Amino acid sequence: MPYIRRHTPREGRRERELADIKRRKRRKVYASARWRRMSAAYLLRHPLCEQCMQRGLTVPAVDVHHRVSFTAFDGMQMLAVAYNPDNLVALCKECHTKIHLHAKEKDAV
Ligand SMILES: [Zn+2]
Ligand SMILES: [Zn+2]
């Protein structure tokens, strides 16, 4: 029986293209004045790491993380997810790094 390789060079190229699209989406959101304003305002309202707080620790938050990655969406839907304050969480560097290490989707934001 012939063995069919699951990862053909063609699929490799497609994966790279998808990674490129996600990179462009992240750049579009994170370089926007709207995001800078919004994340700064979010940190003012949530000055402490929300994950450390759940463990009873008081640690200043430095990053704003999306609970649901907007890179999985397109167009208006992507912007709605990216700029939804309910989708954000304020984190310290350590918690943020950990979330991304454990995330299956390595390119989560
Ligand atoms: Zn933390
Ligand atoms: Zn993140």
Query: pTM score, two decimals?
Result: 0.80
Q: Does residue 106 surpass a pLDDT of 70? A: no
Nearest to residue 71, comparing CAs of 34, 14, 23? 23
Q: What is the pLDDT of residues 37-61, one digit of tens each?
A: 999 999 999 999 999 999 999 999 9
Please tell me the distance between residue 13's alpha carbon and the centre of ligand 2 in angstroms. Answer: 26
The ligand placed nearest to the CA atom of residue 95 is: 1
Q: Give per-residue pLDDT as tens, 65-88.
A: 999 999 999 999 999 999 999 999
Ligand nearest to the CA of 50: 1
The pLDDT-based confidence of 103 (bands split at 50, 70, 90) is: confident
How far does residue 18's CA lie from ligand 2's centre (Å)?
Answer: 19
The predicted pLDDT at position 32 comes to 97
User: Which of these, 51, 58, 54, lies nearest to 96 by C-alpha position?
Assistant: 51
- CB contact set of 35 (below 8 Å; sequence gap of 6+): 29, 82, 83
Ligand nearest to the CA of 99: 2
Closest to 50 measured CA to CA, from 107, 99, 102, 100: 99
pLDDT of residue 102: 81
Ligand 1 centroid distance, CA of 38 (Å):
20
Q: What is the distance in A from the centroid of ligand 1 to the CA of 24? A: 28
